[in-house]
């Protein structure tokens, strides 16, 4: 079962409905949080809630142990990277590691615990 140890989290307003992006990485567009849409996106953290309309606060975990949606099967202990839709993968498409999987994902869509790597070090 995926677990979480909250590290540093902060709030950003959203530009639209982000309710379908729970436990996925987000990036910034100006001062608002938006869904990550490419493996090369400069992500800021993992969305922790389901904001449904523009101007609502998104809670974004920047470091700590976070639940994250897997894009495919991933072994525990594997370095993970951003997939094109904000999920994590073990394939280094962007060569920007975002953390280490503490749980195994047996299939795409599994929610796993990821120890987030400080994003400033990427």
Q: Which of these three, 32, 63, 94, is where a domain ends?
A: 63
Number of domains in the chain: 2
Torsion angle in degrees (nearest 10) through CA of 100, 103, 71, 56? -80
pLDDT digits (tens, 9 = 90+) for 22-31: 999 999 999 9
Residues 12 and 59 in one domain: yes
CB atoms inside a 10 Å sphere around CB 74:
26
Residue among 21, 29, 34, 42 nearest 96 (CA): 42
Residues 41 and 75 in one domain: no
Query: Checking phi first, is residue 55 left (phi over 0); if not, alpha (psi -120 to 50) or beta?
Result: left
Residues 57 and 84 in one domain: no
**What are the counts of helices (DSSP H) followed by strands (DSSP E) for the chain?**
0, 11
Residues 88 and 114 in one domain: yes
pLDDT confidence of residue 30: 93
Range(s) of the domain holding residue 89: 65-121
Residues 78 and 107 in one domain: yes
pLDDT range class, residue 96, cuts 50, 70, 90: confident
Residues 42 and 71 in one domain: no
Helix H or strand E encompassing 99: strand 97-101
pLDDT digits (tens, 9 = 90+) for 49-70: 999 999 899 999 999 999 999 9
Q: Which of these three, 20, 39, 63, is where a domain ends?
A: 63
Residues 56 and 72 in one domain: no
Residue 6 has pLDDT above 90, yes or no: no
Residues 49 and 99 in one domain: no
Residues 80 and 111 in one domain: yes
Torsion angle in degrees (nearest 10) through CA of 51, 55, 56, 59? 80
- On whether the CB atoms of residues 64 and 81 are closer than 8 A, the answer is no
């Amino acid at each position: 079962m995926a677990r979480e140890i909250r590290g540093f989290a902060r709030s950003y307003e959203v530009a639209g409905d982000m309710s379908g992006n729970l436990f996925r990485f987000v990036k910034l567009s100006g001062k608002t949080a938006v869904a990550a849409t490419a493996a090369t996106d400069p992500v800021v953290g993992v969305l922790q809630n389901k904001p449904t309309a523009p101007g609502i606060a998104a809670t974004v975990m920047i470091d700590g142990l976070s639940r994250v949606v897997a894009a495919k099967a991933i072994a525990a202990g594997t370095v993970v990277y951003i997939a094109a839709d904000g999920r994590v993968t073990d394939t280094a498409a962007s060569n920007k590691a975002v953390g280490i999987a503490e749980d195994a994902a047996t299939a795409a869509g599994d929610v796993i615990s990821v120890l987030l790597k400080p994003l400033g070090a990427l």
